[in-house]
C-alpha cells in the first residue's frame, strides 16, 4: 500500500502523481501529518501564530510556492522528514525562513485592490476596448 494511503482519516492518498493533487503538511511542533500548513494540529493542538511559525509551516508543506514557482518538497520527502521533526532534530534554513517572513510582510502590505486587480487581469476575460488589462 502506498505511504499516503495509510494515513489516518483516509483523507490522503497517493496515485503516483496520476490522480488529483492532495496537499499535506508536517506539524512543526510534533511532526504529525495534517492537511494544510496553517491549521491546528490534531495531535498536539499547536497552531502556527507567529510569522516565523507560519513560514516554517509552509516550508514543511506541499503549499509552499511563490507565484508560479513550487518551492516545497515532494510529499514523499515531507513524510520522510516527519520523524525527524517529531524528534526535534529538524533544522530549518534560517535564511529561507527570514526571506519567507519578509515576503509575507510584503504581500500583507500590498493593498487589496492590487491583489484583486492582479486576479482579474490573470483570470478575467480579456477585452479589446481598453488598454487597462494589457491584452
Average pLDDT over residues 108-117: 70
Global pTM? Answer: 0.69
Q: What average pLDDT does the structure give for the chain? A: 78
DSSP state of 56: H
C-alpha 61/C-alpha 23 separation (Å) is: 7
Tell me: the pLDDT tens digits for 3-51?
Answer: 343 333 333 344 334 445 678 999 999 999 999 999 999 999 999 999 9
Q: Is the pLDDT of residue 117 over 80?
A: no
Residue 116: band (very low, low, confident or very high) from pLDDT cuts 50, 70, 90? low
Is-contact 101 57, C-beta < 8 A? no
98: its cell numbers:
527570514
Taking residue 54's Cβ as centre, other Cβ atoms within 10 Å add up to 19
Is-contact 24 78, C-beta < 8 A? yes
State the pLDDT at residue 15.
37
State the pLDDT at residue 6.
36
Q: Where are the domains of the chain?
A: 3-123
Residue 88 has phi, psi (to 5 degrees) of 75, 20
Amino acid at each position: 500500500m502506498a505511504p499516503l494511503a495509510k494515513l489516518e482519516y483516509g483523507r490522503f492518498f497517493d496515485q503516483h502523481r496520476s490522480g488529483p493533487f492532495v496537499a499535506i503538511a508536517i506539524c512543526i511542533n510534533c511532526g504529525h501529518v495534517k492537511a494544510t500548513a496553517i491549521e491546528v494540529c490534531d495531535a498536539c493542538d499547536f497552531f502556527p501564530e507567529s510569522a516565523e511559525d507560519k513560514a516554517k509551516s509552509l516550508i514543511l508543506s506541499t503549499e509552499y510556492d511563490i507565484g508560479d514557482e513550487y518551492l516545497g518538497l515532494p510529499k514523499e520527502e515531507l513524510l520522510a522528514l516527519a520523524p525527524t521533526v517529531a524528534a526535534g532534530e529538524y533544522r530549518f534554513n534560517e535564511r529561507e525562513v527570514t526571506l519567507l517572513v519578509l515576503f509575507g510582510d510584503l504581500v500583507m502590505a500590498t493593498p487589496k485592490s492590487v491583489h484583486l486587480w492582479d486576479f482579474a487581469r490573470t483570470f478575467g476575460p480579456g477585452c479589446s476596448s481598453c488598454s487597462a488589462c494589457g491584452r
